[in-house]
C-alpha cells in the first residue's frame, strides 16, 4: 500500500505541475518520500529476519543494520518534522531505540551473555521517561479539573489525553516486565499471556489515531483529506452519513436557553422603555413667543 500510494502520488506530482503550488504541497510530498524510504528499509529488515529464521546463514548484527541505519537517519527526520509541523512518531521510536537494536543483535549472536534485564536497559530508560510524562499529564489534568476558570472543553481534552497515555504506556511497561521474566526463565507463562497487555496499547493507539492530525495529502495523489475525498467520491455517504444527531435532552436544554434569552431580551426592552418615559420631553428648537 505504501509503495502503491507513493507511486501514484509521484505520478500525479510529475504529470500535473500546477498541483505543486497548492499550499504546502512540497512539504507533503517530501514527507511522503521520507515515509516511503523508511518503510522500504523496514521491508528490507523484515526480509532479512525471514531469511535468518529460515536459513540461519547471517549474523543478527547484519539483520539489524537496516534498523540501526533508520535510527541514525530518524534523528535528522525528527528535526525536519518539528520544523515543518509534521508527525514523527515512527521516526522518534527508531531514534530513541538505536542502542536497543545494537544490544539485541549482540545478545542474539551470543557476543554477550547478559541477562535480558540488562539487554533491555535502553528500553527501560525510555519507558521510565514515558511514565514521567504520563504522571505529568495526569497531574496537570487533575489541576485543570479543579480549576473553574478553565472551560469544559480544555478540561475534557486534557482528561482524555491523560487517560489515553495511561492506557498506552502502562500496558507496554507490563508487557516489558513479563517478556523479560519470560526470557530469563523466571516465570512460566505462555507468550499469548505475555503479549496480551501489548494488545491494549495497540487498541489505544487505534483509538488515538481518530483524533490525530491530518495525514499526508499526496498519498495516491488525492490532494485533500481522506474523509473529504471519501465523501466526494461517494455521494451516498455525503447525503446519508454526514448527519448530526442530538438527544432529546439536548434539544430541551437548547429550547430552554432560547426562551430564557428571549425573556431577558424582552425585560431589557421594557426597562429601556420605562427609562425613556420617565425622561422629561424637551423641544429641540425653542420657539420664542412675541410680547
> Per-residue pLDDT tens for 210-237?
776 656 776 776 766 666 666 677 766 6
- Boundary-marking domain end, from 239, 257, 281: 239
- Same domain? For 95 and 129 the reply is no
- Boundary-marking domain end, from 59, 94, 113: 113
Q: Which domain holds residue 8?
A: 1-113
C-alpha count within 13 angstroms, C-beta hemisphere, residue 121: 8
- Same domain? For 34 and 140 the reply is no
Q: How would you classify residue 285: left for phi > 0, otherwise alpha for psi between -120 and 50, otherwise beta?
A: beta
Task: Answer yes or no: is pLDDT of 16 > 60.
Answer: yes
pTM > 0.75: no
> What pLDDT score does 248 carry?
45
Q: How would you classify residue 171: left for phi > 0, otherwise alpha for psi between -120 and 50, otherwise beta?
A: alpha
Task: Answer yes or no: is pLDDT of 249 > 50.
Answer: no
- Same domain? For 86 and 175 the reply is no
> What pLDDT score does 242 carry?
53
CA pseudo-torsion sign 28, 33, 38, 40: positive
- Same domain? For 106 and 119 the reply is no
Show Cβ contacts of residue 150 under 8 Å, excluding neighbours closer than 6 positions: 144
Between 208 and 238, residue with greater pLDDT: 208
The number of domains in the chain is 2
| Confidence tier at 258 by pLDDT (50, 70, 90) | low
Tell me the mean pLDDT in the region 244-263.
52
CB 237 within 8 A of CB 230: yes
CB 110 within 8 A of CB 70: no
Alpha helices in the chain (DSSP H): 2-15, 25-55, 60-63, 65-83, 89-96, 98-109, 116-119, 121-145, 152-184, 191-209, 226-233, 235-236, 248-278
Task: Answer yes or no: is pLDDT of 247 > 50.
Answer: no
**Average pLDDT of the chain?**
79
The C-alpha atoms of residue 145 and residue 165 are separated, in whole angstroms, by: 17
Please indicate, yes or no, if residue 281 is contained in any of the structural domains: no
CB 62 within 8 A of CB 45: no
- Same domain? For 86 and 134 the reply is no
Instruction: From 65, 95, 64, select the one nearest 77 (Cα to Cα).
Output: 95
Amino acid at each position: 500500500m505504501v509503495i502503491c500510494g507513493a507511486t501514484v502520488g509521484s505520478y500525479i506530482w510529475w504529470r500535473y505541475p500546477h498541483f505543486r503550488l497548492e499550499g504546502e504541497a512540497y512539504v507533503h510530498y517530501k514527507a511522503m518520500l521520507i515515509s516511503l524510504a523508511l518503510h522500504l528499509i523496514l521491508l528490507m529488515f523484515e526480509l532479512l529476519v525471514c531469511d535468518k529464521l529460515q536459513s540461519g546463514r547471517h549474523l543478527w548484527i547484519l539483520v539489524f543494520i537496516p534498523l540501526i541505519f533508520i535510527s541514525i537517519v530518524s534523528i535528522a527526520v525528527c528535526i525536519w518534522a518539528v520544523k515543518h509541523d509534521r508527525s514523527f512518531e515512527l521516526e522518534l521510536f527508531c531514534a530513541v531505540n538505536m542502542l536497543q537494536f545494537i544490544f539485541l543483535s549482540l545478545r542474539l549472536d551470543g557476543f554477550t551473555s547478559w541477562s535480558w534485564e540488562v539487554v533491555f536497559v535502553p528500553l527501560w530508560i525510555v519507558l521510565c521517561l514515558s511514565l514521567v510524562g504520563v504522571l505529568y499529564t495526569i497531574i496537570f489534568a487533575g489541576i485543570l479539573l479543579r480549576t473553574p476558570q478553565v472551560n469544559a472543553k480544555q478540561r475534557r481534552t486534557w482528561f482524555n489525553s491523560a487517560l489515553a497515555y495511561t492506557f498506552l504506556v502502562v500496558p507496554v511497561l507490563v508487557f516489558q516486565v513479563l517478556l523479560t521474566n519470560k526470557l530469563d526463565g523466571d516465570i512460566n507463562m505462555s507468550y499469548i499471556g505475555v503479549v496480551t497487555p501489548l494488545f491494549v496499547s495497540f487498541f489505544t493507539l487505534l483509538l488515538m489515531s481518530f483524533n490525530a492530525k491530518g495525514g499526508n495529502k499526496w498519498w495516491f495523489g488525492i490532494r485533500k483529506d481522506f474523509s473529504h475525498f471519501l465523501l466526494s467520491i461517494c455521494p451516498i455517504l455525503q447525503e446519508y452519513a454526514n448527519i448530526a444527531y442530538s438527544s432529546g435532552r439536548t434539544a430541551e436544554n437548547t429550547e430552554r436557553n432560547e426562551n430564557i434569552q428571549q425573556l431577558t431580551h424582552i425585560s431589557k426592552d421594557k426597562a429601556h422603555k420605562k427609562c425613556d418615559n420617565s425622561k422629561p420631553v424637551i423641544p429641540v428648537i425653542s420657539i420664542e413667543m412675541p410680547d
